[in-house]
C-alpha cells in the first residue's frame, strides 16, 4: 500500500490539472461546420495528432498564423473615423476599389472607373470597413481552426472576443446590412457590388462553429449570432441592392449565392438553402459558363484569368454547400457538366509558363487554382486533377490551408 500511495496521488493531481486546463463539453454543444466538411476536419485532427508529415507544413503555418492574429483586433465598424452616409457609425461602409477621382474635375467628382486598378484610398481603415471585415473573417476562421485541431482554449477565447465585438456588443456591433457597401462618390451612397463584401462574414461564422467545443461563447451569445445572421439573411433576400446583386450574371451573383446559402444553413433555414441550391445550375452555371468552358462576363474584364478563377471558386463553394441539402451541382456523371467543363478550361493555366491568350492587366498567381484542384479531386475522382499541383512550388503547396479543411473561402 505504501508503494501505491504516491502513484495514486500523482494520478489524482494529473486529473485535477487536466480538469482545470480543459472544460469537458457535452456532445450536444459541439456544432458541425457548414462550409468545411466536418468528417474531413475530424480526420485532419487525427492525422495532425499523429504528426502526419503530409499535413505538418499546413498545420505549422496555421499555428504561426493563429499566434500572430492573437495580437490583432478586435475589429468594429465603429472604428472608422468617417461616418457612413447614414450617419450611423454601426453601419458598414466601403468604397469601390476600381473607382477613382476624375482628374478633369476640380473636386474629382463624380468618380470614374478604372477596372482592375485599386484605388488605395478605398482600402483606408479610417474611412472604410473593408480591411476590418476581411481581417475579422480571416482571423476568426484561423483561430477557430487552431482551436478545433489543438483544443488550446486561448484560441477560442480570442475568436469569441472578435465575434462579440463585431456582432453582439451594443457599443460596437455592425448593423446587419450592407446598404453602404462599395460607395462611389458622386454617384451613390452604396452599390449592389457592395454585397460582395459580405462573403467575408462567412469565414467569421464558420469560426464560431469551429469553437463550439469551448464554453467561450455562452448559449445566449450563440443565439445572438444566429439572430444577427437571420436579420442579415432577410436583408440579403429582400433589399433592393442585394436583389440587384443576385441578378448580376457574373462572379457577383455566384458569391451572392455562397452567402445566401451559407446564412440560410447557419440559421437553420433549410427551405431557403434548398431553393437556392436547386436554382443554381440554371440561374448561374448554365447562364455564365459556355459549352467550351469559358465565362464571357469574366473574359470581358481587364483581368480575365483572375476573374474566371474567382468565379469558379465561388461556384465550387456553392456546389459544396448544396451537398448539405442533397442537391447535386457537381453533376460528375452528366454529359454537360458545365462546372467540370469550366474546370478543364482553366486547368492548363495552373502551369505558370502558360500564357493567357488575351491581354490582361497584371500577372495572376496561379496558386489560386490550388484549392479548386483540391476540391475537384473529391468531386471528380476520375479526373486525376491533383497531378496538376506539381506545377506549383512544393513548399507553398504544403502550407496551404485547404490541406487541412478540404474547402475554403478566399
> Does 324 share its domain with 203?
no
> Does 242 share its domain with 254?
no
Percent of the chain at pLDDT above 90?
90
pLDDT at position 129 is: 97
Burial 104-119 (b: 16+ CB within 10 A, else e): eeeeeeebbeeebeeb
3-state secondary structure of 12: helix
**All 3 cell numbers of residue 46?**
487525427
> Does 212 share its domain with 261?
no
Among the residue ranges 20-34, 175-189, 245-259, 391-405, the one predicted with the least confidence is 20-34
> Does 237 share its domain with 324?
no
- Which CATH number goes with the domain that contains 376? 1.50.10.100
Does residue 27 surpass a pLDDT of 80?
Answer: no
Distance CA 366, CA 89 (A): 39
Domain boundary among 215, 246, 277: 246
What does the pLDDT look like over 316-363, one tens digit per residue?
999 999 999 999 999 999 989 999 999 999 999 999 999 999 989 989
Identify the residue with better confidence: 409 or 177. 177
Cα–Cα distances in angstroms (integers) from residue 294 to residues 14, 249, 343, 375, in the given order = 61, 14, 9, 20
Residue 179 lies in a domain: yes
> Does 134 share its domain with 224?
yes
Residue 239 lies in a domain: yes
Residue 29 lies in a domain: no
Residue range of the domain that includes 279? 250-410
Largest Cα–Cα separation, the chain: 94
pLDDT at position 2 is: 38
> Does 47 share its domain with 178?
yes
Does residue 17 surpass a pLDDT of 80?
Answer: no
Residue 362 lies in a domain: yes
Residue 324 lies in a domain: yes
pLDDT at position 396 is: 93
Identify the residue with better confidence: 18 or 280. 280
| CA nearest neighbour of 176 among 224, 136, 229 | 229
> Does 218 share its domain with 281?
no
Residue 185 lies in a domain: yes
**Residues 3-20: what's their mean pLDDT?**
35
Residue 16 lies in a domain: no
- Name the band, by pLDDT with cuts 50, 70 and 90, for residue 409: confident
What does the pLDDT look like over 381-393, one tens digit per residue?
999 999 999 999 9
> Does 52 share its domain with 135?
yes
Does residue 28 surpass a pLDDT of 80?
Answer: no
| Residues linked to residue 95 through DSSP beta bridges, in sequence order | 183
Residue 10 lies in a domain: no
| Residues linked to residue 99 through DSSP beta bridges, in sequence order | 113
Domain boundary among 246, 269, 298: 246
Cα of 395 vs its chain's centroid, Å: 23
Percent of the chain at pLDDT above 70?
92
Cα–Cα distances in angstroms (integers) from residue 253 to residues 170, 231, 249, 281, in the given order = 32, 20, 6, 12
> Does 184 share its domain with 45?
yes
Distance CA 305, CA 140 (A): 30
Domain boundary among 246, 280, 299: 246
Does residue 234 surpass a pLDDT of 80?
Answer: yes
**Residues 97-115: what's their mean pLDDT?**
96
Count of domains forming the chain: 2
| CA nearest neighbour of 76 among 138, 163, 10 | 163
3-state secondary structure of 31: coil
| First and final C-alpha spacing in the chain | 61
Which residues, in sequence order, are CB contacts of 110 under 8 Å at separation 6+?
102, 184, 185, 186, 187
> Does 47 share its domain with 136?
yes
CB 182 within 8 A of CB 190: yes
> Does 369 share its domain with 302?
yes
Check residue 293 and give left, alpha or beta (phi > 0: left; psi -120 to 50: alpha).
left
Does residue 31 surpass a pLDDT of 60?
Answer: no
**Residues 153-163: what's their mean pLDDT?**
98
> Does 235 share its domain with 295?
no
Which contacts of 354-363 are long-range, i.e. CB under 8 A and separated by 24 or more positions? 356/304, 356/305, 358/299, 358/304, 360/302, 360/303, 360/304, 360/305, 360/306, 361/115, 361/116, 361/117, 361/302, 361/303, 362/116, 362/303
What does the pLDDT look like over 128-145, one tens digit per residue?
999 999 999 999 999 999
DSSP 123-147: G-TTT-SHHHHHHHHHHHHHHHHHH
Amino acid at each position: 500500500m505504501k508503494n501505491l500511495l504516491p502513484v495514486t496521488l500523482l494520478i489524482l493531481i494529473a486529473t485535477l490539472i487536466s480538469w482545470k486546463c480543459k472544460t469537458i463539453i457535452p456532445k450536444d454543444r459541439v456544432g458541425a461546420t457548414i462550409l468545411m466538411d466536418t468528417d474531413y476536419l475530424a480526420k485532419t485532427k487525427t492525422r495532425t495528432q499523429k504528426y502526419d508529415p503530409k499535413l505538418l507544413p499546413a498545420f505549422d503555418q496555421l499555428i504561426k498564423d493563429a499566434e500572430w492574429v492573437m495580437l490583432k483586433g478586435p475589429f468594429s465598424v465603429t472604428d472608422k473615423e468617417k461616418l457612413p452616409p447614414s450617419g450611423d457609425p454601426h453601419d458598414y461602409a466601403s468604397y469601390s476599389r476600381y473607382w477613382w477621382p476624375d482628374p478633369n474635375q476640380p473636386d474629382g467628382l463624380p468618380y470614374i472607373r478604372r477596372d482592375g486598378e485599386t484605388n488605395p484610398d478605398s482600402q483606408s481603415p479610417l474611412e472604410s470597413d473593408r480591411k476590418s471585415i476581411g481581417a475579422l473573417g480571416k482571423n476568426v476562421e484561423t483561430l477557430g481552426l487552431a482551436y478545433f485541431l489543438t483544443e488550446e482554449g486561448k484560441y477560442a477565447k480570442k475568436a469569441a472576443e472578435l465575434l462579440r465585438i463585431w456582432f453582439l456588443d451594443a457599443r460596437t456591433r455592425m448593423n446587419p446590412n450592407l446598404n453602404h457597401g462599395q460607395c462611389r462618390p458622386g454617384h451613390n451612397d452604396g452599390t449592389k457590388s457592395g454585397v460582395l463584401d459580405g462573403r467575408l462574414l462567412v469565414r467569421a461564422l464558420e469560426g464560431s462553429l469551429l469553437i463550439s467545443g469551448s464554453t467561450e461563447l455562452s448559449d445566449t451569445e450563440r443565439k445572438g449570432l444566429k439572430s444577427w445572421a437571420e436579420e442579415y439573411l432577410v436583408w440579403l433576400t429582400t433589399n433592393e441592392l442585394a436583389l440587384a446583386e443576385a441578378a448580376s450574371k457574373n462572379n457577383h451573383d455566384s458569391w451572392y449565392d455562397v452567402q445566401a446559402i451559407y446564412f440560410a444553413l447557419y440559421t437553420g433555414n433549410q427551405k431557403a438553402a434548398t431553393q437556392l441550391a436547386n436554382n443554381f445550375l440554371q440561374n448561374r452555371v448554365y447562364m455564365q459558363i459556355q459549352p467550351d468552358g469559358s465565362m464571357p462576363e469574366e473574359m470581358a474584364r481587364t483581368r480575365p484569368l483572375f476573374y474566371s478563377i474567382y468565379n469558379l471558386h465561388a461556384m465550387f463553394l456553392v456546389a459544396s454547400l448544396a451537398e448539405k441539402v442533397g442537391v447535386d451541382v457537381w453533376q460528375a456523371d452528366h454529359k454537360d457538366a458545365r462546372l467540370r467543363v469550366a474546370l478543364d478550361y482553366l486547368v492548363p493555366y495552373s502551369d505558370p509558363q502558360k500564357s493567357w491568350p488575351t491581354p490582361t492587366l497584371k500577372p495572376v498567381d496561379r496558386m489560386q487554382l490550388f484549392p479548386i484542384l483540391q476540391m475537384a479531386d473529391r468531386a471528380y475522382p476520375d479526373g486525376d486533377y491533383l497531378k496538376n499541383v506539381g506545377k506549383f512550388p512544393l513548399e507553398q503547396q504544403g502550407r496551404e490551408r485547404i490541406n487541412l479543411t478540404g474547402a475554403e473561402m478566399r
